[in-house]
Chain A
Amino acid sequence: MDTELILKVYPYFLEAALITVELSVLTVLLGLICGALGAAARLSRFAEVRFLGAAYVSFFRGTPALIQLFLLYFGGPQIGIQLDAFTAGVIGLGINIGAYMAETMRGAIISVDRGQGEAARTLGLSRAQAFRKVVLPQAMRLMIRPLGVNINAQIKATALVSAISVVELTYTAQRYIGSTYKPFEMFLLAGALYLAIITVTGKGVAFLDRKVRLQ
C-alpha cells in the first residue's frame, strides 16, 4: 500500500467527489420531476396519456442507461441536440432514474387504500382535492424509503458519465490508475468517497423517513 501516493493525490479525488455530489443532486432533482410526471401520466384518466407514461417508463427501464447516455451525447448532434458532457450526463441520467422513480411513486400511490379516495369523494371533495389532500400525503410517507433506494442506485450510476469524459470520481480514479499503475490505492480512495456519500445520504433518507412516520 502506497500511502505517500494516496496523500499526494487525495485532494484531486476530493474535488472529483464534489462533482459526483453535484451530479447526484442534479440528476435526483430532475429524476423526481420526471418521476412525478411519469407517475401522473400512468395514473391519468386518459388512455393516450397513460400510454405515453407507460412508453416512457418502459423504454428507459428496458434499455441500459449507458446506451441512453451515448445516444444523447454522441447521437444528439445528428438530430440538432448539442450538449456539453456534464449537461448531457445530468439530463440523460435524470430522465433515466425518473422512469424508476415514476414506478416507485405510482406504486406508493396505488398502495394507499382505494377506500381512502372513495371516502374523501363521498365527503364531497372533488377528484383532485381527494388526491391532493387525502391520498398524496399518505403516499408521500410510503414513498420515501423506496425513493431512497432509487437515490442510492443513482449516486452509483453517476459513475457512468465517466464514459462521456465528465471528470467525476470514477474518471479521476481511472486516470490515476493509468498514470500511477496503482489500481488498488486509487480504487480504495474513490471507493471510500463513494461510500461516504452513500452513507451520509442513506442517513438523511432514514432521518426523513422517521420524521414523516412520526407525524
Chain B
Amino acid sequence: MGLDFSAIPPFYGTLAIGVLWTIAITVVAALLSFFGGILLAMIALHGPQLVKQPFRFVSWLFMGTPLLLQLFLIYFGLVQIGIDLPAFVAGVIGLGLHYAVYNSELIQTAIVAVDRGQMEAARTLGLSRGQALVRVVVPQAVRDVIPPIGNNMIALLKDSALVSAIGVTELTLSAQLAIGRTYRAFEFYAVAALLYYIINLGMEAVLRRIERRARLSR
C-alpha cells in the first residue's frame, strides 16, 4: 500500500475541528498552569508549615511520574470517588496541574532571587507581607522566568496530544478517526505532524512577543 494523499481532503473539516480543540486545550491548560504555578510557588515558599510539606510531596509525585498516567488517574480514577469529569475537563486539569508544578519550580527560584530590598522597601511603604509578595515580588519574579515558562508552554502544546488517550477529539484523535475510516495512517499522521508544527510556530511567535514586552518593562 503506497501513499495516497487524495484521502485527506474529505477530512479537512475533521482535522480543522481537531486543530481548534488542540488550541483550546492548550490555551486553557496553559493559563491554568501559569496562574496555578504562581499560586503553588507562593504556597511552597510562604504557606503555613502544615501545608508546605504535603505540597512538596505532591509536586514530587507530579514531577516523577508520567503525564499519561496522571491523565488516566484523573479521568478514570476520580470516578472511583464519585467525581465523573468530562474528558475535556479532565484533560485540561491534568495538563494544567502537571505544568503548574513545573512552572512553580521556576517561579520559586525566581522569587528567591528577587532582591530582598524590594520586599523590605514595600513593607516600609506600609504594605503587608502578603501584599508586598503579590504586588511587588511576584510580578518581578514572573517576568524574570517568562522564557523558560514559554518553553514549558511549548512542551504543553505537544503533550496535549496525550489527551487523545482519554477520548478528547483534538488533532491526534481526529487523525485517528480519519484513519479508522480510510486506513491511511501515514498520510493522516504526517498531516497531523505538519499541523502541530504550524501551531508550534504560531505559539513561538506569540511567546517571542510576550518575551519582548517583558524585557521592555524591566
Q: Kindly state the separation between the CA atoms of A156 and B201 in the bound complex, as whole angstroms.
A: 25
Which residues of chain A from 188 to 214 have a CB within 8 Å of any chain B CB?
190-191, 194-195, 198-199
The answer to whether A67 touches B192, judged by C-beta atoms less than 8 angstroms apart, is yes
The answer to whether B193 touches A183, judged by C-beta atoms less than 8 angstroms apart, is no
The answer to whether B72 touches A177, judged by C-beta atoms less than 8 angstroms apart, is yes
Which stretch from A112-120, A126-134, A157-165 is at the chain B interface? A157-165
Which bucket holds chain B's interface residue count? 35 or more
The answer to whether B65 touches A79, judged by C-beta atoms less than 8 angstroms apart, is no
- B55 interface hit (Cβ, 8 Å): no
Question: Per-residue CB proximity of B64-104 to A under 8 Å, as 1/0?
Answer: 11111100110011011000000000000000000000000
Q: Which A residues are CB-close (under 8 A) to B64?
A: 156, 191, 194-195, 198-199
Q: Chain A residue with minimal CB distance to B176?
A: A70
Q: Which A residues are CB-close (under 8 A) to B76?
A: 177, 183
Q: Chain B residue with minimal CB distance to A70?
A: B189
Secondary structure call for the A interface: helix
- A182 interface hit (Cβ, 8 Å): yes
- A64 interface hit (Cβ, 8 Å): yes
Select which of A67, A78, A159 is within 8 A of B196 by beta carbon: A67
Select which of A63, A71, A156, A183 is within 8 A of B200 by beta carbon: A63
Q: Kindly state the separation between the CA atoms of A75 and B210 in the bound complex, as whole angstroms.
A: 38
B44 to chain A, nearest CB (A): 19
B9 to chain A, nearest CB (A): 18
Select which of A162, A174, A195 is within 8 A of B65 by beta carbon: A195
Q: Chain B residue with minimal CB distance to A75?
A: B186
B113 to chain A, nearest CB (A): 19
Select which of A68, A70, A75, A173 is within 8 A of B72 by beta carbon: A173
Q: Chain A residue with minimal CB distance to B196?
A: A63
The answer to whether B185 touches A74, judged by C-beta atoms less than 8 angstroms apart, is yes
- B25 interface hit (Cβ, 8 Å): no
Q: Kindly state the separation between the CA atoms of A156 and B68 in the bound complex, as whole angstroms.
A: 9
Select which of A158, A160, A163, A184 is within 8 A of B77 by beta carbon: A184
B153 to chain A, nearest CB (A): 14
Interface residues of B (CB under 8 A from A): 1-3, 60-61, 64-69, 72-73, 76-77, 79-80, 158-162, 164-165, 172, 175-176, 179, 184-187, 189-190, 192-193, 196-197, 200-201
Interface residues of A (CB under 8 A from B): 59, 62-68, 70-71, 74-79, 156-160, 162-163, 170, 173-174, 177, 181-184, 187, 190-191, 194-195, 198-199
